[in-house]
């Protein structure tokens, strides 16, 4: 389809019902722009081809012979996409209130913005925190993990202060923040095609996690702005479309972190990241013990 405004890439691992809900919401809520949709079937065994033939024959299906990672899957669609803007989207999302129309309109009015993300809700009434203004560094990643596993983040969850030192999100008092950020959640990320032609596609050395963070890092290095636009919003159920990656989440996350720091900060960045990681291990164990003791009274004693 030549000359469309938006090309949408959706990777499907499992859960056909979620994909159906996602596709239906796109078609219902995208009204004022032209668009094309690619679905990459990552060995789902969900008979996606039958679903698309029956309900959505205009959607373009890419079927994998073997399971592949987040970046390589999306890149298959991005390489052949014809849109002025390219959007990577999780299949566990629901588009609300013409979100894509609003995002395209925003990009048209802001030519120095290379990529934009929208507000995401875990359900219809629980918003996620906005992404951080700060780029990921070994120190900020250490503080994020330390704050989480030591219980500090939970104790100060209603304060913005604790989030100032991290790189993953802004604080709860900035829930409606609109402006420049360091990176965007890859569950829904729109990028200018001319920017992709300049900085390249997603890095396929990542199997899962940090692909979009790396992309945003490169986009900012090239002089473009990354923007968070909460007037466009979706539901992102989260972690319901990972498929065979589920059991390897922690290992893949650690692998991606190491690769990110080596790529952007060199060997010193990796050594610093791994050294700081060692400091966290005792706190992780203490926090797990704290949670066990706290919830001990809730445990039911079963006699046989």
Contacts for 19-24: CB closer than 8 Å, 24+ residues apart: 19/46, 19/48, 19/51, 19/91, 20/51, 20/55, 21/94, 22/89, 22/90, 22/91, 22/92, 22/93, 22/94, 22/95, 23/55, 23/56, 23/59
Give the DSSP H/E element, type plus range, for residue 252: helix 249-294
CA dist 218 to 156, 199, 201, 221, Å?
Answer: 32, 7, 10, 5
pLDDT, position 144: 80
Give residue 39's pLDDT: 97
- What domains can you pick out in the chain, each with its CATH number? 1-133+175-241 (3.90.550.10), 134-169+242-294 (no CATH)
CA-CA distance, 41 to 47, in Å (whole number)? 9
Report the residue count for the chain.
304
Cα-to-chain-centroid distance, residue 38: 18
- Predicted confidence at residue 294, as pLDDT, reads 60
Q: Is 241 helix (H, G, I), strand (E, B) or coil?
A: coil
CA–CA gap between residue 171 and residue 130 (Å, rounded):
8
- H helices of 138-248, where? 138-150, 152-155, 161-164, 193-199, 211-221
**pLDDT by position in tens, the chain (length 304):** 568 999 999 999 888 999 999 999 999 999 999 999 999 999 888 888 998 999 999 999 999 999 899 999 999 999 999 999 999 999 999 999 999 999 999 999 999 999 999 999 987 778 999 999 999 988 888 888 777 665 667 777 777 777 787 888 888 889 999 999 999 999 999 999 999 999 999 999 998 899 999 999 999 999 999 999 999 999 999 866 555 455 677 788 888 999 999 999 998 888 887 787 777 666 555 555 655 566 554 444 333 2
CA 106 to mean position of chain CA atoms: 20
CB burial string 268-288: b at 16+ within 10 A, e below: ebbebbeebbeebeebeeebe
pLDDT of residue 304: 26
Residue 83 CA from chain centroid, whole number? 21
Residues 97, 25: Cα–Cα separation, whole Å: 10
Q: Which residues pair with 60 in a beta bridge?
A: 38
DSSP SS3 for 94? strand
Dig out the tokens for 261 from the structure.
């720091």
Cα separation, 14 vs 237, whole angstroms = 14
> Could you tell me which of 96, 93, 98, 91 has the C-alpha nearest to residue 35?
98
């Amino acid at each position: 389809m030549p000359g469309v405004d938006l090309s949408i890439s959706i990777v499907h691992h499992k859960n056909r019902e979620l994909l159906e809900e996602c596709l239906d919401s796109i078609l219902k809520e995208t009204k004022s722009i032209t668009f094309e949709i690619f679905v990459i079937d990552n060995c789902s065994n969900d008979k996606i081809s039958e679903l698309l033939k029956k309900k959505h024959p205009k959607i373009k299906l890419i079927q994998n012979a073997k399971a592949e990672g987040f970046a390589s899957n999306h890149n298959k669609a991005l390489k052949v996409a014809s849109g002025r803007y390219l959007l990577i989207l999780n299949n566990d999302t629901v588009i609300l209130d013409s979100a894509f129309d609003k995002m395209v309109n925003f990009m048209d009015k802001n030519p120095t913005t290379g990529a934009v993300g929208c507000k995401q809700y875990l359900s219809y009434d629980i918003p996620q925190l906005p992404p951080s203004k700060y780029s990921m560094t070994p120190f900020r990643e250490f503080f994020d993990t330390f704050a989480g596993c030591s219980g500090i983040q939970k104790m100060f969850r209603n304060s913005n202060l604790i989030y100032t030192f991290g790189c993953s999100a802004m604080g709860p008092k900035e829930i409606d923040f609109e402006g420049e950020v360091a990176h965007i959640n890859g569950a829904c990320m729109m990028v200018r095609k001319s920017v992709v032609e300049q900085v390249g596609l997603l890095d396929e050395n990542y199997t899962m996690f940090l692909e979009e963070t790396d992309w945003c890092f490169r986009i900012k290095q090239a002089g473009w702005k990354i923007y968070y636009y909460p007037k466009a919003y979706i539901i992102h159920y989260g972690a319901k479309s990972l498929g065979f990656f589920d059991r390897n989440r922690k290992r893949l996350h650690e692998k991606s972190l190491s690769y990110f720091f080596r790529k952007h900060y060199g060997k010193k960045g990796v050594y610093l990241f791994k050294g700081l990681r060692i400091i966290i291990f005792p706190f992780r164990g203490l926090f797990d013990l704290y949670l066990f003791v706290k919830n001990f009274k809730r445990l039911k004693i079963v006699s046989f």
